[in-house]
Amino acid sequence: MDRIAIVGGARLTGEIPVSGAKNSAIKLMAAAILTDQPLKLTNMPRLADTRFLGQLLRAFGLSVEESDPATTVLHAREITSTFAPYDLVRQMRASFNVLGPLLTRTGEARVSLPGGCTIGARPVDLHLKALQALGAEITLEEGYVHAVAPKGLKGAEIEFPFVSVGATEHALLAAVLAEGTTVLRRAACEPEIGDLAHCLNAMGARIEGIDTDVLTVTGVSSLRGTEWSVIPDRIEMGSYAVAAAMAGGEVRLTKSRPELIAALTDRMVAAGVEVEPTSDGVIVRRDPAQRLKAVDVTTEVYPGFATDLQAQFMALMTLARGESVIHETIFENRFMHAPELMRLGAEISVHGGEARVTGVDRLVGAQVMATDLRASVSLVIAGLAAEGETTIGRVYHLDRGFEHLEAKLQACGADVRRIKGESDEH
């Protein structure tokens, strides 16, 4: 397996363009199932996850054509299969969201349950209950969900017991072609959901209440093709903002929207980082001679502090003066990066959903191992400031969510390189 090696200590200076959002792109790709006309997506990230989903969509009979660095055209002229096997679904949890579009387009689907997850159970029961409310008949058999709707899906009132991004997206994808009106209450308000809803409307759907917690969907008989630009990736943007703060220097993040990471940059400013919004992103500045100040964060649903930026912020706090307390309220088991940061010399204690980080004077490079996507980039961030060389194993996690990570950091002066095919064990 590949590893990434980083020699810490270099300031970052330059510009990093932010890619399209992975978490939006994969749901937009699934939306192509809903129409027999082509869906053209621009600003598409080229990632392991989008490749996995493209492979799955081809198994259903879709054509998936990539052109230029960031354009993908998907065409579901005819659905030739409604079976999503475990070997494909297990590679990316979000691929389970093909169930709703297949069901509403064809009346039947058989999709593997996504299996376990390293950051908690993340059950799909809310997805299935939403589909049942819309009239689907669902049975579970040998690890697969078999859903049928021989008379089509019907609009319904659905109130989620708690905010779920995946269930909200899945219900939207199923409801747009359902007969009648569907109301989704306590819907998630993440920007990626808004991106999906606006794209569906451009395809002819009738969705109201976008960016609020109540979505009203008036079903239509068919959708058309369209061209849509994927929203910028706020998690990538936030990760590079924290990287610039950790290493010191001045980095301009472009092709993005500063309001998408306001909860993060507010905390960064409180810690002593300069953040200057621009027309298409932010400039992040920090003099590494000035010690950061410890600040607390609590993860929340959008527009609160994103759980997907918690690991990165923890890395930043390892060098801050004082103690910071990080409360994780979204996912269980999401502090698995803490022991790896401690291998670099960080002082972190974890108790349930709370992590206490006592800032240290320095980090020292070591061999570490990525446990999930966001944890892996936190180790990259820490390695940028650690003395000596840090090597990170299992970087296939990084490849799921960060496009050209080494090249983007190298362009700003980081000493980072990929080591091909060597052992990733400690």
Would you say 151 is a known binding-site residue?
no
What stretch of H or E contains 194?
Answer: helix 191-202
Would you say 234 is a known binding-site residue?
no
Token pair of 421, please? 């095919």
Would you say 93 is a known binding-site residue?
yes
Burial class of 415 by CB neighbour count within 10 A (0 to 12, 13 to 18, 19+): middle
Would you say 363 is a known binding-site residue?
no
Would you say 40 is a known binding-site residue?
no
- List the catalytic residues: 117
Give buried/exposed letters for 334-369 (b at 16+ CB in 10 A, else e). Answer: bbbbbebbbbbbbebebeebebbbbbeeebebbbbb
Nearest to 41 by CA among 55, 60, 52, 27: 27
Give buried/exposed letters for 210-239 (b at 16+ CB in 10 A, else e). Answer: beeeebbbebbeebebbebbbbbbbbbbbb
Distance CA(388)–CA(363), nearest Å, equals 9
User: Do 32 and 74 touch, CB atoms closer than 8 A?
Assistant: yes
User: Do 319 and 246 touch, CB atoms closer than 8 A?
Assistant: yes
Would you say 357 is a known binding-site residue?
no
Would you say 125 is a known binding-site residue?
yes
Question: Within 10 A of 67 (CB to CB), how many other CB atoms are there?
Answer: 10
Would you say 126 is a known binding-site residue?
yes
Would you say 308 is a known binding-site residue?
yes
Count, in order, helices (H) and strands (E) of the chain.
14, 24
SS3 category, 69: coil
User: Do 291 and 321 touch, CB atoms closer than 8 A?
Assistant: yes
Would you say 124 is a known binding-site residue?
yes
Distance CA(381)–CA(316), nearest Å, equals 8
Q: Could you list the residues known to form a binding site for UDP-N-acetyl-alpha-D-glucosamine, using ranges.
A: 93, 122-126, 308, 330
Annotated binding site for phosphoenolpyruvate: 22-23
